[in-house]
Amino acid sequence: MFAEDDIERRRVEREAADRAYNDALTALDRAVPRLPDLPHQPVEYDESQLPLLNERWRIATADPAAGLTGWRRRVAMAIWRVAGPAFERQQAFNAALVDHLNRNVAAHRANRQSIEATIGAMRGELEKLETFHTTLVLYLQTITRFVDTKDRSEHIATLANLTNAGLAGVADEFRRRWESMVAREQRYVAAVDELRTSIASVQQTGLMLKRELERGLAAGAAPAASAGGAGAKPAAVPAAAPPRPPAPAIDSVNAYKYVAFENRFRGSEADIRARLLQYVELFDGADNVLDLGCGRGEFLALLRERGIRAHGLDINHEMMEACRAAGLEALEGDALAHLESLPDASLGGLIAVQVVEHFQPAYLTTFLDVAYHKLKPGAKIVLETLNPSCWFAFFEAYIRDITHAWPLHPETLKFLVVASGFQRVDLRWLSPYPSDAKLQHVELPADARTASLAAIAQAFNENVDKANAVMFSYLDYAVVAERM
């Protein structure tokens, strides 16, 4: 490595070389010759009087007495002999002068053209020379940056070579720390899973104790009541068991009407199959799935096509006849009674599509408690229902069905599922209201956009969004959870 005094000496030398180079470059830039002020083009030769001179240079005629006769001619010729020589000399001078002017016009024209061409050529050459000097200065400035960049590249390469070994060591240390962090994260995830399992076990134990306590109270009520006889002191009578929640019922005689209602308002079998297809993968690998409120058996058919064993349950006799005609396993009866007849941890999954809104609150809470015990660990429960927080779904779909018992807000159903011991609860929004059928924004034409109208339009559009969020959101939702 370089010593500090050596580095300082090199830095001083570098700065001195930079200053000398910059001074030389500045001097060169100042020495660039500038284009001088060249003379203007020569004034054109004045030829305006030449035509008149060419016309009037002759002052004597060949016959001065032309047109005269007799004594008049003799007198004119006598006078011409005296004055004629003078006029002839003047005329000879005029002829020589006019000839000289005529011959010099061409020379003046040629000189002017030559001067113009010379000035133009000189200006062009001087401009080229100025451009060359300017380009030379720019080149020297560019070569400075090029040399600096080349030096930096060499320095970077040197530093890279010097630090490769160090970086390799840092990479190895980082890899070791990363592997340690991954191992700690895995232990944390395992601990969380164990904690989740423990909490689920505690919840299951609590529910089991609650169920056994209710059974004990119901069984002890009768012996306690018959233990007293005549003259005996009345014994304390334990509190009566809470009454069983009433099950939803459909008049079997008029069951066909509800089938027609389903066909009219819920959709065709093809539409229902397309909607239920999203749930099939949740039960991959499961066995003995229960479809509560299976209706015409669309979901049972989808599970059968996937090779998943399942059976359905519905209280509508006509629905069951439709399932049996399709070769599907389906039973007719009450949901809660059927669940209680099954062994604990015997179901590989449970789905109820558009069913729980038919349950009274007490029946629903009991149903969720019993369903928890009947599902195997790791089995999923899916509860799909109408979304009453969407006004259109509530007023258009929920109240239209007279068999609906209680609207279930999404947060309410999710809470009840969690309170019954289920975990990994997921709330899924389904059936979005068509965008083109919602309240629409107002768009101002370009020629009518002013600050005040734009503010009004913005406030109106914000209120439209708020109204759409409440009135036209999602028509259905589903709670998907897992029994741990």
pLDDT in tens, 310-342: 999 999 888 888 899 999 999 999 999 999 999
Q: For residues 345 and 200, give the distance between their C-alpha atoms in angstroms, rounded to a whole number.
A: 14
Residues whose CB falls within 8 Å of the CB of residue 210, separated by 6 or more in sequence, listed in order: 369
The pLDDT, as a whole number, for residue 32 is 75
pTM across the whole model: 0.52
DSSP state of 441: P
The pLDDT, as a whole number, for residue 204 is 62
Whether residue 438 contacts residue 468, with contact meaning beta carbons closer than 8 Å, is answered with yes
Task: Tell me the pLDDT of the chain averaged across its residues.
Answer: 82
Residue 161: pLDDT band (50, 70, 90) is low
Lowest pLDDT segment from 2-16, 117-131, 364-378: 2-16
The pLDDT, as a whole number, for residue 153 is 61
Lowest pLDDT segment from 41-50, 188-197, 355-364: 188-197
**Tokens at 113, concatenated:** 């053209």
Residue 382: pLDDT band (50, 70, 90) is very high
The pLDDT, as a whole number, for residue 335 is 95
First to last CA, the chain: 64
Q: Which helix (H) or strand (E) holds 187?
A: helix 70-226
Span 271-300, pLDDT tens digits: 889 999 999 999 999 999 999 999 889 999
Q: For residues 295 and 188, give the distance between their C-alpha atoms in angstroms, rounded to a whole number.
A: 44
Cα separation values, 38 from 9, 112, 335, Å: 52, 15, 110
193-202, 210-219, 444-453, range with greatest mean pLDDT:
444-453
Span 411-467, pLDDT tens digits: 999 999 999 999 999 999 999 999 999 999 998 888 777 888 888 989 999 999 999
Lowest pLDDT segment from 72-81, 290-299, 344-353, 358-367: 72-81
Span 52-95, pLDDT tens digits: 888 777 777 777 777 788 888 888 888 888 887 888 788 888 88
Residue 252: pLDDT band (50, 70, 90) is very low
Task: Using CA atoms of 113, 116, 118, 123 in order, give the dihedral in degrees to the nearest 10.
Answer: -160
pLDDT at 253 over 60: no
Whether residue 261 contacts residue 401, with contact meaning beta carbons closer than 8 Å, is answered with yes
The pLDDT, as a whole number, for residue 170 is 72
Higher pLDDT, 259 or 29: 29
Q: For residues 179 and 244, give the distance between their C-alpha atoms in angstroms, rounded to a whole number.
A: 56
How are strands ordered across the β-sheet holding 474-482?
Answer: 330-332, 310-314, 289-292, 347-353, 375-386, 474-482, 423-432
Lowest pLDDT segment from 127-131, 156-160, 247-251, 466-470: 247-251
Residues whose CB falls within 8 Å of the CB of residue 13, separated by 6 or more in sequence, listed in order: none
DSSP bridge partners of 292: 313, 352
Q: What percent of the chain has pLDDT over 70?
A: 81
CA atoms within 13 Å, Cβ hemisphere of 407: 17
Q: For residues 89 and 91, give the distance between their C-alpha atoms in angstroms, rounded to a whole number.
A: 5
pLDDT at 242 over 60: no
28-37, 251-260, 403-412, range with greatest mean pLDDT:
403-412
Whether residue 484 contacts residue 423, with contact meaning beta carbons closer than 8 Å, is answered with yes
Whether residue 25 contacts residue 143, with contact meaning beta carbons closer than 8 Å, is answered with no
Where does residue 182 fall: left (phi above 0), alpha (psi -120 to 50 degrees), or beta otherwise?
A: alpha
The pLDDT, as a whole number, for residue 230 is 46
